[in-house]
A and B are shown apart, each in its own frame.
Chain A
Amino acid sequence: MRRVAIIGVGTTPFRPRWKDKTYFELAFDAAKLAFGDAGIRHTDVDSAVYGIYNEFFQRQVQPDLYVHDYLGLGGKPAMRVNTGGATGASAIRAGFSEVASGMSDLCLVLGVEKCGDCYDYNLHAATPEVLKSISYTADMTYEQPTGRTAAGSFALAVVAHQRKYGNPTEEQMARVSVKNHRNALLNPIAQSPMELTVEQVLKSPMIAYPFKFYDNCLYSEGASAVILASEEKARELSRQLGRDPIWITGVGASLDYAILGNRPNLYTFEASREATRRAYKMAGIDKPVGSIDLAELHDAFTGTEIMAYQDCFFCEEGEGGYLVDQGFTEPNGKLPVNISGGLLGCGHAVGATGIMQTIEIVLQLQGRAGKRQLDAPRRGLIQNIGGIACAWTVSMVLARSGYES
């Protein structure tokens, strides 16, 4: 397997709505930024992978066709990847395979999502139609009719986890919300940067027990792109760019049972554990704490970030809540999590989200993260989840030169 580097990145800000851009125009903006950042022309890429989640959001079946066309890449091999919330990192994993296998030397991986055109004319709001579009991911015969939402599917697991281990408590979850919304204050692409108090989070309206309004990320529109390169290409472009590439040293994926009766329990996300195990194994990491200097973990809900602490082996099973108490994942903690603001602070432009997480790690490892720059991090972890109660996870380890293993 060949080594794979990230040589360029580009993202639009995440916003509730980009009324002045269609999904393919947003894609174009992110692609243009990424090509510029890599110092290449669009015609230089050998292939493309598009991460786009929901047909109803885009009002288009097979929207990748029209992104590829608009980017002027006609004739080049390309495909769409869709693994729900994990679409972005899954697209990078597909691009990784493309380059690692030798089929491509340069590959564009681009995620885009535009949900805000959904609109309920009776209620004069986008949200009901957005939630309806998402609800069709639930098994249409046996689960969707019950009215369980996406938030509900994760809430079911968090409740089971709480009853088993006594945490995360609602206050611990609120502290994660405060942390990530605050982290976003330093991120120019963030949709929801704000200073909140634990009390404000606890008093916000209930959405799906035990998640309150500020325990949930907001849906966003946006596009994010990375350019993947073979080692030879990466070295050549690095010399021109005058900066080191970032290496993808570990990639792991898992798709768990989506019908939860098939799972051994409801209180862990085995897909997350398996994907992260695989990523660490490929990256040669035995002990993540001490090896990983920062992580972007999928905090669509505060409770899922806390469960991700154990699923990414930062602590023993059932101890995630205690890491919050210790300030372990605060920006000045031992292992900062979601320094970008995460999904809670930046928003969730589904197909783009895993790529946005990846871009944060790239910028941090290259010392390009502006006001939120951490002190010379060596390796970072991305965990991107999706589907019914975390059916999908893709985890990736990124490293700067000299720290590849």
Chain B
Amino acid sequence: MSREKDLKALSAGWKFAPPDKNAWIARQSARTGIPAAALEKAFEQEFSGRHELWEELEIPDQMRITYKFSYGGHSPFFRALRDYGRLLGARCEACDFTYCPPRRNCSRCYGETRWVELPGTGVVETFTTIYKGPLVQGKPKLICAYIRLDGSDFIVMSNVEMQDAARAEVGMKVRVVMHEERNGSFTDFHFVPASEGA
């Protein structure tokens, strides 16, 4: 309380004039990349009645980096995926262990791997259905599953789409569906139950 009193005394006679709303919003939007329409409420919160020195001041801000990310030695996997719609694995030449997600180097025996094409069928090892998360706005449910792919000794995290999401289960047989538009990302495909038609 005494801190407020001090600040009131310090600012006695100071004049507060709120900034022009549209100019402020345009400036913050340009600074942060936040759409102007989304900043209306922030302006109201920050400038309708709030100007005493002891009131916490909140500013729109952001930390954002863009990348030209190189897949390095994993590039053949993403080339096969994006440019040809094919799913590759990597088999260790020394110990025969097959990775998908692929690896150039075998983490088990330190051997080198070579590329092999996988049939794109597999079995759900475990799953969860996401109801709240960054990708779930608008989508009612998102099934994330660990799938053991045929021809691979590894498991992949991928999305499963099915007619009745409540029937997702461990042990379910699935097959890959490549997307028409592919970005060179691990979400260029998803899985569907093997029992559901094309």
Contacts and interface: CB of A to CB of B under 8 A. Distances in A.
Chains A and B belong together in one complex = yes
Contacts of B134: 128, 131-132, 135, 147, 149
B111 interface: no
A205 B125 CA distance: 25
Contacts of B126: 156-157, 159-160, 163, 266-267
Interface residues of A, number: 43
Contacts of B61: 59
Interface in A99-137: 117, 121-124, 127-128, 131-132, 135
A149 B61 CA distance: 24
A56 interface: yes
A262 B106 CA distance: 11
Contacts of A20: 56
Contacts of A73: none
B113 interface: no
A353 B58 CA distance: 26
Interface string A26-70: 000000000000000000000000000001100100000000000
Quick one: which of B58, B153, B170 has the most chain A CB within 10 A? B170
Given A142-B156, A145-B185, A146-B158, A208 B132 contact: yes
A287 interface: no
Contact of B133 (A55, A147, A262): A147
B146 A260 contact: yes
Interface in B78-99: 99
Interface in B121-158: 125-137, 142, 144, 146, 153-158
Range, interface on chain B:
35 or more
Interface in B149-187: 153-159, 170, 185-187
Contacts of B58: 19, 117
B118 interface: no
B170 A160 contact: yes
Contacts of B153: 261
B11 interface: no
A156 B133 CA distance: 15
A2 interface: no
A146 B137 contact: no
Contact of A152 (B35, B56, B128, B187): B128
Contacts of A132: 134
5 closest cross-chain pairs (CB), A and B:
A147-B135, A261-B154, A155-B128, A160-B126, A121-B38
Given A121-B34, A147-B159, A156-B127, 6 more contacts: A121-B35, A135-B133, A141-B101, A148-B144, A149-B134, A259-B101
